[in-house]
Amino acid sequence: MFQVGQSLGDYAILQELGKGGFGQVYKVEHTITGRREAMKVLSAGNSDATEQIERFLREIRLQASLNHPNIALVHTAFWVNDDLALVCELLEGRSLQRLLDEGPVSQERAIGVIAQVLDALSYAHARGIVHRDISPGNIFLTEGGIVKIIDFGLAKAATDLRLTREGAPVGAAHYMSPEQIRGARDLDARTDVYSCGVVLYELLAGKKPFEGDDAFTIMKAHIEQAPPSPVAANPQISQELSAILLRALAKRPEERFQSADAFLQAIKNASMVPATASAPRSRRSLGRPVLIAACATLAILIGILVAAVVTRPGNAQSPSAKSFAVPAPPAAVTPDAEVPPREAAATPSVATKTARKAKTRQPSIPGKPISGAALVEPTEPESPAQPESKEQQAPDTATPANAAAEVKPRNPVVKVLKRMNPFQQKRSTSPNDEPKN
């Protein structure tokens, strides 16, 4: 349309930056100030020229009324014959689409980009202006890291994935809201919220939420299908950010964030912990209770083992044995192995007599308890024990009663009772010690 070196008013064309169905974009220089700027020229040589020019004029006035660091500034506009030219600030850098061609970006960078876009949209929405065409191609990343929205509210050139039919809503099919696809006339800020959600999804997941071979398939998916989980596409996305993103992509406008600022505040406050880090964190959080339970179980087991060792049979020093060291009835006293066989097999009357004699010979020692056997008084007259010859005693040593008497008691309780009973104290006896008539 115009050639490099050609002058348009006070501007000299330095370079062609791009072209589309509506016209061309040039890098120009103001011949008086020397400032380099960008010039967009809308061609009037197509069938929709009248409608396009009217829309272009309206959007030029809207964008020229905005002054925000994240919106490309409009400097001036003028006619060149039948063509309309718009002059705005020249941006050095690359479009967001170029960045997306390299793959997904980190959560921090994605949020940093979309936060600047949402801040600019919030500023425009407060002044009644809806962009309606938010897409990576309309978001520019300057070399200084500043994000700029360009072509604010302008209908873009048609491609195989753009709406070109007369009367259809303007916008890229991949980034249009469901109500915009249906051709709603009362679009508001929530349609830009949806488009920003699609851009953020692509930044984080590395792909668009809906794909298709043509614009119709993609638009149908925006209306009917739920977007895939961002975490499924990229596990490095946090669960909280994924939920925020899905809310921005709600089909019904009333279910989305109701403003760009609400969307902005949500992503600023979202946790950045990747979904893949949630499982290890949960396991670590469960480690402390499990360790405490294991220690408690181990302590119980140690207590059981200690109790078993202390109370096992044969341990004369165990507390359990001492706790049962109470006076026992005479019948429970086991004769000592050193007691003569005749005494071990004696009848109850003889045992009572022997106990009385032992009490007479061995008075109780202060501080020592006296067993019940030592205090039993006979209730019947006792007959004197008859001495027996050694020949008569010999056979008794082989009887079962004597054999049992020779077995050393193993019960610790009995041992304690024996020590406490004066009758059971060891003494040197012989058959000659028997009382004589």
Catalogue all structural domains in the chain, each as residue range(s) with its CATH number. Answer: 7-89 (3.30.200.20), 93-277 (1.10.510.10), 322-427 (no CATH)
Q: Which amino acid is at 147?
A: V
72 closest CA partner among 146, 172, 156, 128: 146
Amino acid 359: pLDDT = 47
> How many other C-beta atoms are found inside a 10 Å radius of the C-beta of residue 63?
24
- DSSP alpha helices (H): ranges in 214-367? 215-224, 230-233, 239-248, 260-268, 278-310, 319-323, 341-344, 348-361
* CB-based burial, 4-37: b 16+ in 10 Å, e otherwise: eeeebeebbbeeeeeeeebbbbbebbbeeeeebb
Amino acid 18: pLDDT = 85
Cβ contact 14:28 at 8 Å: yes
Mind telling me the catalytic residues?
Answer: 133
> How many other C-beta atoms are found inside a 10 Å radius of the C-beta of residue 120?
23
Rounded to two decimals, what is the model's pTM?
A: 0.59
CA–CA distance, 23 with 41 (Å, rounded to integer): 5
Cβ contact 248:200 at 8 Å: yes
Amino acid 43: pLDDT = 75
Amino acid 367: pLDDT = 46
CA–CA distance, 187 with 132 (Å, rounded to integer): 8
Amino acid 21: pLDDT = 64
Three-state secondary-structure class, residue 99? helix
Both structure tokens of 126: 């407060």
79 closest CA partner among 31, 29, 22, 8: 8
pLDDT digits (tens, 9 = 90+) for 361-401: 444 444 444 444 444 444 444 444 454 444 444 444 444 44
Amino acid 281: pLDDT = 47
pLDDT (tens, 9 = 90+) of the chain, 437 residues, equals 788 888 888 999 999 988 876 788 999 999 999 999 999 888 766 656 777 788 788 878 888 899 999 999 999 999 988 888 999 999 999 999 999 998 888 889 999 999 999 999 999 999 988 998 999 999 999 999 999 998 765 433 333 344 444 445 556 899 999 999 998 888 899 999 999 999 999 999 999 999 988 899 999 999 999 999 999 888 988 999 999 999 999 999 999 999 999 999 999 998 877 766 544 444 444 456 556 777 777 778 777 776 666 565 555 444 444 444 444 455 544 444 444 444 444 444 444 444 454 444 444 444 444 444 444 444 444 444 454 444 444 444 444 444 444 445 455 555 655 665 555 544 444 445 444 44
Cβ contact 93:143 at 8 Å: yes
Amino acid 3: pLDDT = 84
The DSSP H or E segment spanning 84 is strand 83-89
CA–CA distance, 393 with 373 (Å, rounded to integer): 26
